[in-house]
Amino acid sequence: MKVLDERVVERARQSGIDALVYAPHFTRLPEIRERAERFSTEDVTVVPAREVFTGDWGNRRHLLAVGLDDPVPDFITFEAALAEFDRQGAAVLVPHPEFMNVSLTRAEAGAYRDRIDAVEAYNAKLFGRQNDRGRRIAEAFDLPTFGSSYAHLHGTVGTAWTEFEDDVRGEEALVTALKERRSRTVVRRRDPATRLRRLVEFAHLGYENSWGKLDRLLLSGMEATHPRHIAYDGRFDDVAVY
């Protein structure tokens, strides 16, 4: 999910979810970790993660990394991102496959299947045909699946989750479960309120990819996760696409 506060954690608790993966866009790992620790409770553990935008704006390939120790910027090459995830031993997940121009294609998922730990088979923001593609890709390449609310808005939290047979409450336990491909079930709600929230989330997506994108490109200056930001000390200059 992309949003985090007390309301989010309470919604998760009420839904019976005991671990939330928090991966906001354009936010550096130290800040994500600080917020995850601040909002974790006895009932709900918030696990920090990064959804990295690889490639340029016109040809983005999103990768969700869980278990990072060192920050990884956006807008670096796909191979460079995978190499950094490998170096850190992070679990690598494919969110919303084949969705618009921001996702791995079927061919790419197949080519990199040995370096992918799971493919998203249900995303509460998307519709049936779009989610079916994810399931078919996972089946074609014998990859584990996961489901998520992918919540950008509070109300979507708790509409979908991944249920493991083992206890995966903490970050290390979750990374291990993902990398070892442990048994899990994708759970989702099907009530009318959930369908309405999907429409609201999709409308929000339209804002993000219109005015929100223009704001980031033209008005906001250099993002905190830009590879040439001073925080990265030049480590990614040779693999930056901007």
Give the model's pLDDT for residue 220: 55
Give every strand in the sheet of 145-148, ordered side by side: 19-22, 45-54, 61-66, 91-94, 118-123, 145-148
Evaluate whether 54 touches 65 at the Cβ level (below 8 Å).
no
- pLDDT by position in tens, the chain (length 242): 999 999 999 999 999 999 999 999 999 999 999 999 999 999 999 999 999 999 998 888 999 999 999 999 999 999 999 999 999 999 999 999 999 888 999 999 999 999 999 999 999 989 899 999 999 999 999 999 999 999 998 989 999 999 999 899 899 999 999 999 999 999 998 877 767 766 677 666 654 654 445 455 444 557 899 999 999 999 999 999 99
Q: Helical H runs in the chain?
A: 6-14, 29-39, 78-88, 106-111, 128-140, 171-179, 192-207, 213-214
Residue partners of 46: CB distance under 8 A and separation at least 6: 4, 9, 19, 20, 22, 35, 36, 37, 39, 40
Distance CA 26, CA 51 (A): 9
C-alpha separations of 33 from 21, 41, 49, 132 in Å: 11, 14, 8, 33
Give the model's pLDDT for residue 131: 95
Distance CA 226, CA 74 (A): 6
Convert 99-119 into a string of H (helix), E (strand) and C (coil). CCCCCCCHHHHHHCHHHCCEE
Evaluate whether 76 touches 239 at the Cβ level (below 8 Å).
yes
- The fourth-level CATH superfamily of domain 6-239 is Metal-dependent hydrolases (3.20.20.140)
**CA 213 from chain center: how many Å?**
18
DSSP class of residue 165 equals S
Give the model's pLDDT for residue 70: 98
Evaluate whether 104 touches 97 at the Cβ level (below 8 Å).
yes
Distance CA 89, CA 138 (A): 22
Give the model's pLDDT for residue 37: 98
